[in-house]
Amino acid sequence: MSRTAIIAGAGHLPATLATALQAPLVCALDGFAPSGLTADLVFRVERLMPFLRALEDAGVSRVVFAGAVQRPRLDPSLFDPATAQMVPRLLAAMQAGDDATLRDVVAIFEEAGFAVVGAQDVAPDLVPGPGVLAGAPTAADERDAARAAAIVAALGAVDVGQGAVVAQGLCLAVEALPGTDAMLDWVAQTARRPEPNGAKGVFYKAPKPAQDRRIDLPALGLETLKRAHAAGLAGIAFEAGGVILLDRAAMVAEADRLGLFLWAREP
């Protein structure tokens, strides 16, 4: 029987996907253990080719990437001969940016004979379609969300980030390498609205325009809601069909409790 491997990074998404699969093989990149889930295999990039062979030996036919990782530090002394031959290819992809790196990772797995699927293919309920899930965005919120969506599309086109905060038509912050939490914390600590009694602002999240949606699909969780509330925002909007909600029921309940809207916006 064919088997699915979860190529796991940090966070709760790998554990969520594991519940939607039958006996998945959980594989974690060294240093990026998933939350609430024990890895069956731990691997390093320097030993990528032996790892791919181990997947084949375990009966794996398809893989799904889930969780957060950062570019690991590579130890030249750990490379096996087969993986060492791939170093120029990997370094060239890394120098071209995150999207190029991820596309090359997908290509390597496909060349090894594995089907690469997205989290949305394994558990489609994690990715909401269009609609307001909690609260009610105002007309001003809708304008701010539209402005944020345009900013995120521009950022994504140059492979920078997947999120932005806009209030009263002004961009208060954009997501870059430090990530969503750091951006929202910065807004909470420093950002000021032109009109203190005007629109509070919107955090918007979406995939990059040209990214392969089988990998690195943006995700939102309870912590994001709490930080958006601490930043004084009116709510969170995200691209319908393009963002994972880690626990939809809990997020809707928390958004209602905090008085925030949660909106899967039509792209």
Encode pLDDT of 110-151 as tens digits: 999 999 999 989 899 999 999 999 999 999 999 999 999 999
Total count of domains within the chain: 2
The two three-digit tokens of residue 68, written as one number: 């957060």
With contact defined as beta carbons under 8 Å apart, do 105 and 29 qualify? no
Supply the DSSP string of 121-137, one letter for each residue: HH-GGGS--SEEEES--
CATH number at residue 174: 3.40.140.80
Query: CA 59, CA 244: separation in Å to the nearest integer?
Result: 28
The two three-digit tokens of residue 39, written as one number: 């890895």
Query: Is the pTM value of this prediction over 0.95?
Result: no
Helix (H) or strand (E) segment spanning residue 89: helix 87-96
What is the b/e burial string over 1-10, where b = at least 16 CB atoms within 10 angstroms of the residue's CB? eebbbbbbbb
- Are residues 117 and 134 both part of a single domain? no
- Are residues 136 and 78 both part of a single domain? no
- Are residues 184 and 206 both part of a single domain? yes
With contact defined as beta carbons under 8 Å apart, do 241 and 129 qualify? yes
- Are residues 179 and 252 both part of a single domain? yes
- Are residues 208 and 158 both part of a single domain? yes
Query: Which residues have a Cβ under 8 Å from the Cβ of 36 and sit 6 or more positions away?
Result: 12, 15
- Are residues 115 and 157 both part of a single domain? no
- Are residues 88 and 170 both part of a single domain? no
- Residue 166's nearest CA partner among 248, 239, 228 is 228
- Are residues 96 and 138 both part of a single domain? no
Of the three residues 121, 151, 177, the one that is the final residue of a domain is: 121
Of the three residues 121, 137, 153, the one that is the final residue of a domain is: 121
What domain range is 255 assigned to? Answer: 127-265
Query: CA 134, CA 245: separation in Å to the nearest integer?
Result: 13
Of the three residues 58, 91, 121, the one that is the final residue of a domain is: 121
- Are residues 47 and 140 both part of a single domain? no
φ, ψ for residue 152 (rounded to 5)?
-65, -40
For residue 93, is pLDDT > 90? no
Residue 194 pLDDT level (bands cut at 50, 70, 90): confident
Over residues 155-162, the mean pLDDT reads 88
Handedness of CA 256, 67, 206, 215 (dihedral sign): negative
- Are residues 117 and 238 both part of a single domain? no
- Are residues 148 and 257 both part of a single domain? yes
CATH number at residue 13: 3.40.50.20
